[in-house]
């Protein structure tokens, strides 16, 4: 493997968490960073490929009308939704999705832009 050394600046807390995670995984910090960067970069390949995945959404309950409106605009991409009440103020949804990666990423960004949304994360599980 042809490798080039680089330098990375991290705050102390992030470095501590990285070290602990590397120890838990049984790998070096360098290897853990390589794995993370590879996974991150893989998210940007194959934008026109048909994929299946899960869109994880956490939001304040009073934002549900706007979220539902966006979901209805993308109903061709949404297979199923699991809705959970985390507490009296927060909801979580696991939305099974299919479609072109680019379209699903656009859906995740649209949902993430809604003020009451705390988190919108797309996990691509399968490329078809």
User: How many percent of the chain have pLDDT more than 90?
Assistant: 78
Q: Is 108 exposed, middle or buried (0-12, 13-18, 19+ CB in 10 A)?
A: buried
- CATH for 50-127 is 3.30.70.1150
- If you average pLDDT over residues 92-121, what whole number do you get? 95
Picking from 83, 95, 103, the residue whose alpha carbon sits closest to that of residue 120 is 95
12 pLDDT above the threshold of 70: yes
Assess whether pLDDT exceeds 90 at residue 63.
Answer: no
Return the domain boundaries, the chain: 12-42, 50-127
Tell me which DSSP letter residue 41 carries.
H
Does the pLDDT value for residue 69 go beyond 70? yes
Give the pLDDT of residue 109.
Answer: 95
3-class SS of residue 90: strand
Residues 78/71, Cβ–Cβ less than 8 Å: yes
Identify the band that residue 108 occupies on the pLDDT scale cut at 50, 70 and 90. Answer: very high
């Amino acid at each position: 493997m042809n490798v080039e050394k680089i330098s990375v600046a991290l705050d102390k807390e992030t470095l501590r968490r990285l070290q602990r995670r590397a120890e838990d995984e049984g790998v070096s910090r360098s290897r853990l960073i390589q794995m993370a960067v590879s996974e991150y970069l893989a998210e940007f390949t194959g934008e026109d490929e048909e994929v299946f995945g899960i869109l994880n959404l956490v939001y304040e309950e009073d934002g549900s009308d706007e979220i539902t409106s966006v979901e209805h605009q993308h109903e061709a991409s949404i297979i199923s939704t699991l809705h959970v009440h985390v507490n009296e103020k927060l909801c979580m949804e696991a939305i099974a999705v299919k479609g072109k990666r680019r379209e699903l990423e656009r859906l995740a960004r649209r949902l993430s832009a809604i003020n009451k949304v705390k988190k919108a994360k797309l996990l691509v599980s399968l490329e078809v």
